[in-house]
Structure 1
Amino acid sequence: MSDFVFGKNSVKELLQTDRSINKLFLVKGFKDDELIKLAKSKRLIIKTVDKKKLDSMTGGKNHQGIIASVSPKDYADIEQILQNGEEGRRFIIVLDSLEDPHNLGAILRVADGAKVDGVVIPKNRAVPLTSTVAKVAAGAMETVPVAQVTNLSRSIEELKDKGFWVTGADPKGQPFYKSDLKGNVCLVIGGEGKGITRLVKEKCDFLASIPLSGKVTSLNAATATAILSYEVVRQRANEGS
């Protein structure tokens, strides 16, 4: 499945459906007030670029100055994700500014294996669901609901209001094996190289670190997610023992 739909008529027809759209790319000086108004009514991210960029995205095909980046799967919303879990044992992963589709695909595989109820990603400055993500996820994108939200900090606050304890992966936190990861768990993983952003970190109830004894100073996001997710699994398995 292609990640792009292009051409004025094709994009206009797409905008009139419920298909999940990641982003709209417009050539500088693009003029079609009706189409732009329709896109804004759906609160889409609109990015203005030069013609050379659009040409490279379509392989030189006639795009008429507009390209829609579409998701290979419709996004869920957080309320739908919450319906999947068992009260008191819900498990959600929040990804802050993750930019590598291979990491996102690998995280979805981890989420499937650890019985995560759903994954939350931001709309801006983060990789969306794409065909590359689907390929790396190897089927997990179909089994793990993904919500795409406008304001990550606000969404975390909403989860806290619903009884979630929010733990962020951060080198300054206590070792993950000393962290309490039971109950309704929201695990926050930061982007490659940058970690969790300041505003999101401030929303976390706890910070958990993964101690490293070698020369490497950090793990990639997918590996960190796997370690922390299976610590949640381990702690739950040992409850009452």
Structure 2
Amino acid sequence: MPPREGGTPPPPGRGNDELRLYGWNAVQALFDKRPQALRKLYLVEALIPRMQPVLKWCVANRVGYRVVEEGDLNKLAATTHHEGLVADVLRAPVVPLAQWLVELGEGPALALWLDGVGNPHNFGAILRSAAHFGVKALLLPA
């Protein structure tokens, strides 16, 4: 979602600007690339030592986190496959195709058009394969 006037992102929780990530790799990848997108973190107590850099960042940037029980994470993630970690994050802004083409630069680039992929497990498998084969962008219908 594009920033509002003044360059600040829209407030979290309004409309469709947030999503919930779960699992160590997903949350860590988001934090490595866009830590400012982190809005709230939920984790089990056993992960506190491993998550110290992220938790310190949360404190320094006034981002809330809660230590919760496994059952709470099951409800938050709507699955038991959360690896003890759930995060509420701002969605990445959608880059229009024309802008992406301008910013692409010289040389070949591979983009993948996806339409009608509804199963999140299939979508995840496609994303992992795309990353492995150097896909530069996913093109999605509005």
Scaled to the shorter chain, the TM-score interval is: 0.3 to 0.5
TM-score (normalizing by structure 2):
0.42
With the length of structure 1 as denominator, give the TM-score of the two structures. Answer: 0.26
Higher relative contact order (CA 8 A, sep 6+): 2
